[in-house]
A and B are shown apart, each in its own frame.
Chain A
Amino acid sequence: MSEKRIDDTHARVSQKLSEIDPEIAWQAWQPSPEIPWNAERARLLFRRGGFGASPEDLEYALKHSSSQVVDRMLGAGMGKKNEEFERESSQIASSVRAGGDAERLGAWWLHRMMHSPSPLVEKMTLFWHGHFATGADKVTDSELMYAQNQLFRKHALGDFRELVHAISKDAAMLIYLDSESNRKAHPNENYARELMELFCLGEGNYSEQDVQELARCFTGWEVRRKMFRFNPYQHDSGMKSLLGSEDIESGETAIDVVLRHAEMPFFVVDKLFRFLVCDEPRPSKSLLQPLVNRFIESGYKTESVVRQILESELMLSLWPVGKKIRSPVEFAVNLTRGLDATTNLDRLAKALKPLGQALFFPPNVKGWDGGRAWINSSTLIGRSNFVVDLLGDGNTRFHGGALDEWVKSQRISSLDGWMEWLSDSLLAIPLKPDEQLRWKEQITSSTNANHWRAALITLSRNAKLQLS
Chain B
Amino acid sequence: MVLYQRGLTFCFGVLCFSVCCLLPATRVWPQESPSQSLEVASDVESANPRDWLPDSTVLYAQIAPVSEWMEHPLREWLVETEAFKKIWRSPEVMKARGGITVAEFAIGYKLDRLLRDITEGGVYVAIDRETKGIVVLTKTKGEEWLSKYLEKALDYVRKDAKSKNQPEPIESAQYRGIEGYKFQTGIFAAIGPWLMITNQGDLAKAVIDRTVDPGLPTLRQARWTAIADATWLRDASGTSQDRGTATASRLVNFEVDLATVRSVIGQNDLFSEQAKDFGAELILGGVLSVLRNAPVVAGSLDMDASGISIALNAPSEEQWFAESREYYVGPLVSGRAPAALKIDSIATLGTYRNLSEMWLRAGDLFNQNVNDQLAQADNTLTTLFSGKDFGTDILGAIEPELQLIAKQQSFPEDGLRPTVQLPAFAFVAKLKKPEVMRRELKRIFQSFVGFLNITGAQEAQPQLDLSMDRVGDNPIYFAEYIRDADRPYENGLPIQFNFSPTLAFLGDHVILASSVALARELLDEPFSPSEADVSPTDVHTLFRVDAQALQAILESNENAMITQNMLEKGHSRAEAKREIETLLGILSLFRSGTVEMSFQNKASLSLRVDAMIEPK
Contact = CB atoms under 8 A, between A and B. Distances in A.
Given A100-B494, A100-B495, A95 B570 contact: no
B568 A98 contact: no
B420 A345 contact: no
Contacts of A92: 563, 566-567
B564 interface: yes
A95 B491 CA distance: 9
Contacts of B567: 92, 96, 104, 107-108, 111, 344-346
Contacts of A395: 568-570
A416 interface: no
Contact of A226 (B420, B460, B492, B562): B460
Interface string B463-486: 000000000000000000000101
Nearest to B571: A342
B492 A98 contact: yes
Contacts of A226: 460
B419 A94 contact: yes
A396 interface: yes
A366 interface: no
Interface string B549-593: 000000000011011101111111101000000000000000000
B418 interface: yes
Interface string B120-152: 000000000000000000000000000000000
Contact of B491 (A94, A99, A104, A108): A94
B570 A97 contact: no
A108 B570 CA distance: 11
A343 B460 CA distance: 33
B459 A140 contact: yes
A448 interface: no
A98 B420 contact: yes
Interface of A is mostly: helix
Interface in A77-94: 88, 90-94
B418 to A, nearest CB: 7
A397 interface: yes
Given A91-B559, A94-B491, A141 B419 contact: no
A367 to B, nearest CB: 24
Interface residues of A, number: 31
Contacts of A111: 566-567
A397 B570 contact: yes
A226 B573 CA distance: 32
Contacts of B494: 97-98, 100
A400 B566 CA distance: 13
Interface string B426-441: 0000000000000000
A171 B562 CA distance: 31
Given A95-B560, A140-B459, A345 B419 contact: no
A95 B565 CA distance: 11
B442 to A, nearest CB: 30
Contacts of B487: 225
Given A94-B419, A225-B484, A395-B570, A99 B495 contact: yes
Nearest to B486: A225
Nearest to B573: A88
B460 A344 contact: no
A395 B484 CA distance: 40
A235 to B, nearest CB: 22
Interface string B206-221: 0000000000000000
Nearest to A99: B495
A95 B563 contact: yes
A104 B573 CA distance: 18
Contacts of A397: 570
A341 B569 CA distance: 11
Contacts of B460: 141, 144, 225-226
Contacts of A341: 570
Interface size class of B (residues with CB under 8 A): 20 to 34
Nearest to A224: B460
A95 B492 CA distance: 10
B492 A94 contact: yes
Nearest to B490: A94
A99 B571 contact: no
B566 A97 contact: no
A136 B450 CA distance: 26
Contacts of B562: 91
Contacts of B418: 98
A95 B420 contact: yes
Contacts of A96: 563, 567
Interface string B389-419: 0000000000000000000000000000011
Contacts of A346: 567-568
B419 A98 contact: yes
Contacts of B564: 95
Nearest to B559: A91
A43 B165 CA distance: 46
Contact of A396 (B459, B560, B570, B572): B570
A95 B568 contact: no
A342 B484 CA distance: 39
B20 to A, nearest CB: 24
A94 B557 CA distance: 12
B453 to A, nearest CB: 15
A397 B570 CA distance: 8
Contacts of A99: 420, 495
Interface string A114-153: 0000000000000000000000000011001000000000
A140 B418 CA distance: 21
Contacts of B420: 95, 98-99
B600 to A, nearest CB: 42
A90 B24 CA distance: 52
Contacts of B575: 400
Nearest to A95: B563
Nearest to A104: B567
B572 to A, nearest CB: 8
Contacts of B486: 225
A396 B568 CA distance: 10
Nearest to A225: B484
Interface in A373-399: 395-397
Contacts of A400: 575
A97 B568 contact: no
A98 B460 CA distance: 15
A174 to B, nearest CB: 13
B492 A342 contact: no
Given A94-B419, A226-B460, A344 B569 contact: yes
A91 B487 CA distance: 19
A324 to B, nearest CB: 27
B351 to A, nearest CB: 30
Given A111-B566, A344-B568, A97 B491 contact: yes
Q: Which of A90, A98, A345, A397 has the most CB of B within 10 A?
A: A98
Nearest to B419: A98
A95 B571 contact: no
Q: Which of B491, B492, B495, B575 has the most CB of A within 10 A?
A: B491
A174 B129 CA distance: 68
B335 to A, nearest CB: 38
A342 B570 contact: yes
B506 to A, nearest CB: 33
Interface in A47-96: 88, 90-96
A335 to B, nearest CB: 13
A281 to B, nearest CB: 39
Contacts of B495: 98-100
Given A88-B573, A98-B492, 15 more contacts: A90-B491, A92-B563, A95-B419, A98-B491, A98-B494, A98-B495, A104-B567, A111-B566, A140-B459, A342-B569, A342-B571, A342-B572, A344-B567, A345-B566, A396-B570
7 smallest CB-CB distances across A and B, nearest first, come from A342-B570, A98-B419, A95-B563, A94-B491, A92-B563, A98-B420, A343-B570
21 contacts: A92-B563, A92-B566, A94-B419, A94-B491, A95-B419, A95-B560, A98-B420, A98-B494, A98-B495, A98-B560, A108-B567, A225-B460, A226-B460, A341-B570, A342-B569, A342-B570, A342-B571, A342-B572, A344-B568, A344-B570, A345-B567
